[in-house]
A and B are shown apart, each in its own frame.
Chain A
Amino acid sequence: MRVRTESILPYSLLAPTLIFITLLIVVPIFQAFLLAFQTADGEFTLTQFEKMIADTSFADALKFTFLLLIFIVPAQVVLALVMALLIHTRFKGHTFFLYIYALPLAISDLAAGIVWLAIFTERGFLNSGLFQLGLLERPFLFLSYQNLPALFSTLIIAESWRATAIVMVILLAGLQVIPRDYFEAADVFGANTLKRTLFVVLPLLRPSLQNALIIRTIFAFQTFAVVLALAGRVIPVLTGEAYNWYALNRNANIAAAYSTLVLIFTVIATVVYFRLLRTSTAEAGFD
């Protein structure tokens, strides 16, 4: 019967994906909750969370995860905004620069960590350069536990270098949706570049900005390999602790407790951003 196949078609096309995602995403999440909140006998418990909180690294992991978030996300957004606005002026050769700026999209956080390791390590390129310029007499230990601010800064630099590309591409895609009339109208009214950026472009770009913020915030909670590559276990982060508890300590329950915490933060951040997004899209007149 043709009538029936027509109405069922979209569902049957989507079914494989829905089943797959249910089995490999939805079910595991519930299992993770069970791991985190259940005893071996299947009773509800908070012991795993108590153990997690009592863990010596927990407070630091929490602190550093949020510190990273607070520094990385704004740094990426500002840098990406400069890149996107620059490209959007469509100067001669702008596509060439766009492709260069977008290259780090391809780079994993592990690889990014290693790249900056080569630069910040004791006999790395940064120390070599500063020495050859006569600014340093002997290598500065950027990656030492004795110099936490410096070590922490290297993380911010490495992550900004890597993930700015994603934010830039999102913002540029957003910029392209804004009708060019807006830019020209601003010109006619004599707005200079800075004023135009602040009062015309940014408000119109708010939906894209907030999308970029959501994506980057979610992934900032998952920062892990870049930290491991540059700081080892000196700077613990939440996802890194989940990894350690599972891969090194073979304790799936506490690993699950850590991941659940990351999930909770992710959900909170998303809800908060969605709230902000909803009010602002109405203001900006975008759908």
Chain B
Amino acid sequence: MPSSRFILNRIFLYAVAIALAVWTLAPLYLIALAAFSTKEAVFQWPKLFLPTAFSTETMAFFVGSTGVLDSVKNSIIVALVTVVASLILGAPGGYALARFRFRGKDAIQLGFLISKMFPTAILSVPLAIAFLQMDLYDTLWGVALMHTAMALPFVIIVTAGIFVGVPRDLEEAAQTLGCNRLQAFWRVVMPLTIPGLAAAAIFTFVLSWNEVFAATILTLRNRTLPAQVLSGLSGSPLYYRYAGGFFMILPAVVFIFAIRKYLLNMWGNIVR
């Protein structure tokens, strides 16, 4: 029989846990409620907390607004290019940091940590000017380049952590069994790191999908979704903003939930 003190303790613990969960989830529920209602319901007083006025009207209005669908498409393209580019560029570097001892390694690692810290603002303004001269301004390539640069330090540190998890012996065993370095990587390291790399890819996608400042500064007409919502913030009706907010949140939340098991490892690595 557990003591009554133990039971009280448990009740208190769960009460706090549930309260914090409500604090996290309630705003998400409310924005969903606001995003799926009629235009009138947005201005209704007082508002109801149950989905009595469920409607896709505001969502449809948002999706149908000029530029929104294009911006969604743009966001997806930019995020995909960012994921592919940053993994292709960054993963080999992460592998190098994980596997080799070489001169200057500490300095390079510190450099990556520092480059993560530079404010987006200071990078975006000069890049906008440079992109203007290179005909990259207001293109998805420009935004994707910027996002790749922002994601690279993250990708390299996270992938290094992933590759460190594969014992070196496995690669050497493959080499003694007839593989060259590249074959050993493809046949042994890749299959073992695919889940981790996929998680890193998804996280990179979310980074790009959410990025506001650079995307807004670097584009004018070819907006990504956050840039589209931000630039229209002051001039758009509330229901447009609610729907936009929800639309940005949904895929990101789903993705993060999909890679939930890797979050601790990734952030554990990144701060070490």
Contact = CB atoms under 8 A, between A and B. Distances in A.
B27 A208 contact: no
Given A21-B153, A115-B249, A101 B24 contact: yes
Given A110-B229, A222-B121, A246-B217, A169 B264 contact: yes
B233 A32 contact: no
Q: Pick from B31, B130, B211 the residue with the most CB of A within 10 Å.
A: B31
A82 B231 CA distance: 37
B89 A20 contact: yes
Nearest to B35: A118
A125 B42 CA distance: 10
A52 interface: no
Interface in A101-131: 101-111, 113-119, 121, 123-125, 127-129, 131
Nearest to A123: B45
Contacts of A83: 20
A222 B120 contact: yes
A280 interface: no
B95 A28 contact: no
Contacts of B145: 24
Contacts of A102: 256, 260, 263
A100 B25 contact: yes
Contact of A224 (B23, B97, B148, B213): B213
A232 B96 contact: no
A147 B123 CA distance: 35
B90 interface: yes
Interface residues of A, number: 98
Interface residues of B, number: 93
A90 B238 CA distance: 42
Interface in B245-260: 245, 248-249, 252-253, 255-257, 260
Q: Pick from A25, A121, A258, A260 the residue with the most CB of B within 10 Å.
A: A25
A25 B147 CA distance: 11
A246 B125 contact: yes
Interface stretch (B11-19, B64-72, B166-174, B187-195): B11-19
A101 B120 CA distance: 27
Q: Pick from A32, A111, A208 the residue with the most CB of B within 10 Å.
A: A111
B78 interface: no
Chain B interface helix/strand/loop/mixed? helix
B38 interface: no
Contact of A108 (B90, B95, B248): B248
Given A17-B152, A218-B117, A108 B268 contact: no
B31 A115 contact: yes
Q: Pick from B89, B122, B145, B249 the residue with the most CB of A within 10 Å.
A: B122
B14 A91 contact: yes
Given A165-B24, A256-B122, A256-B125, 7 more contacts: A25-B149, A103-B25, A106-B253, A108-B209, A121-B238, A225-B213, A228-B230
Interface of B: 10, 13-14, 16-17, 20-21, 23-25, 27-28, 30-31, 33-34, 42-49, 89-90, 92-93, 95-97, 99-100, 102, 105, 108, 111-112, 115, 117-130, 145-146, 148-149, 152-153, 156, 206, 209-213, 216-217, 226, 229-231, 233-234, 238, 241-242, 244-245, 248-249, 252-253, 255-257, 260, 263-265, 267-268, 271
The 8 closest A-B pairs by CB, nearest first: A114-B245, A173-B268, A24-B149, A108-B210, A31-B126, A106-B252, A106-B256, A128-B47
Interface of A: 7, 9-11, 13-14, 16-18, 20-21, 23-29, 31-32, 34-35, 79, 82-83, 86, 89, 91, 94, 97-111, 113-119, 121, 123-125, 127-129, 131-132, 139, 161, 165-166, 169-170, 172-174, 176-177, 208, 211-212, 215, 218, 221-222, 224-225, 228-229, 232, 239, 242-243, 246-247, 252, 255-256, 258-260, 262-263, 266, 270
